[in-house]
Structure 1
Amino acid sequence: MSEVLDRRARKKAQTRALIRETAQALFAARGFEAVTIVDIATAADVAVQTVFNHFSTKEELFFDGHIPWVDGPATAVRARTPGVAPLTALHAHLTDRVGAYVRSLATPEGRSFAMTLEASPALRAHERELHHESINLLAEALLEAWQADGGVPPLASDPRTAASVTAAVWLAAVRTLVREQRLGLTESAGVSSADPEAGVAVARTVADQVLSGLVSAMSAPPERSVPPESRLRRTG
């Protein structure tokens, strides 16, 4: 019985991989909007319903296998080495992510994926949805980590808000860095294939500086505000 189940699972995984690879090749060749589910089913030699059995939308098909970044930040916080602060683990993970993304843009597959994504409003909208999902997952992980460690997060009087704001700001910064690299491809810039590691090093340095700045800003004590009437008395 277990052999039969294993065989079915392998066949299911093989069919899913075939559909994904076929679809992504068609998207790269024709553009996302020009390809239909019928086109994908025909090229993969499967029924249309078989495609829907594995993927509910074309957007899901496009991104399948390309979105470890959605739960990656939350996983980095939860799986951090004992004694490592949540933001330290997050900082290291996001810096690595930016470097890996820039490295992928030096490959034909990575460039094709990025350019197809940037050319499609539907894909960019779906990417934004995935980005918000990543923020929510990271916020939950940060809140759990701060509560478990007994540490004092920023805005300590409201840890839940602190976690949500931190997740939103940090991931927005990284998304901006990543998208700038992607936009460079459409302007015939991008990463030099002759020395991709040089571009990776620069991107990692920029990411590290940006995230270090966020850490410093969150650690600094808030400035005391001076009432307007007090300022008037001082200058008058």
Structure 2
Amino acid sequence: MSEIILELDNVTAHYGRIQALRGISLTVRQGEIVSIIGANGAGKSTTLMAICGIVKVSSGDVRYQGKSITSTNADLLPSQGLCQVPEGRRIFPRLSVTENLDMGAFFRKDQAAIKQDMEMVYHLFPKLKERRKQPGGTLSGGEQQMLAIGRALMGRPKVLLLDEPSLGLAPLICQHIFKIIRTINRESGVTILLVEQNANIALQLSNRGYVLETGSVMLEDDAKSLLANPEIRKAYLGD
């Protein structure tokens, strides 16, 4: 069994006086795709932001590669291989596609390797290569999601945190995005922690999953078992 690369141990977090996370514990092993599913407001995105240091952890610990990162500044984590694709993409709308991708490698100095990685991103997302000189804000929603993922890949992540990659996208575009996510995991060995409202497609993609309700982990299992669980199917899969 592969080693644990990311771990949350009894993590709590607050927005002011409102407790958003209530003792979240989860593990992600190297090379896995792990999904976090749950209803709106369950704490899924907050969990990712707590990992990244965007939301301050009130208690508990976040460990990455065996070391606590609970007090690490958020801007230092990408250079350590922990990269997030935020909900809503958040690309730079006035910068070109190429300039957006360059921003993903802002902390790197290996220019030859950066050029290779950009070609890799263009290979994964040919539409981005076609539009490489266009401002990011002129792209479609699906293309902007591709750009946000490509920008994160330019940081050469060991762990990629994906927050609602299907949000607002048409079903065919979603299928394409998730196909690329699987390719990134299988061909590049990137570990992926995925927050996704579309529980069905997320679990089909994943090795394991966690179900969150009101800031707590209610269930953890391998993805196939969660897909077959009648309660999960009724609550999250539309059965």
Normalising by structure 1, report the TM-score. Answer: 0.26
Which is helix-richer, 1 or 2? 1
Q: Tell me: higher relative CO, structure 1 or 2? Use CA pairs within 8 A at least 6 residues apart.
A: 2
Larger Rg over CA atoms: 1
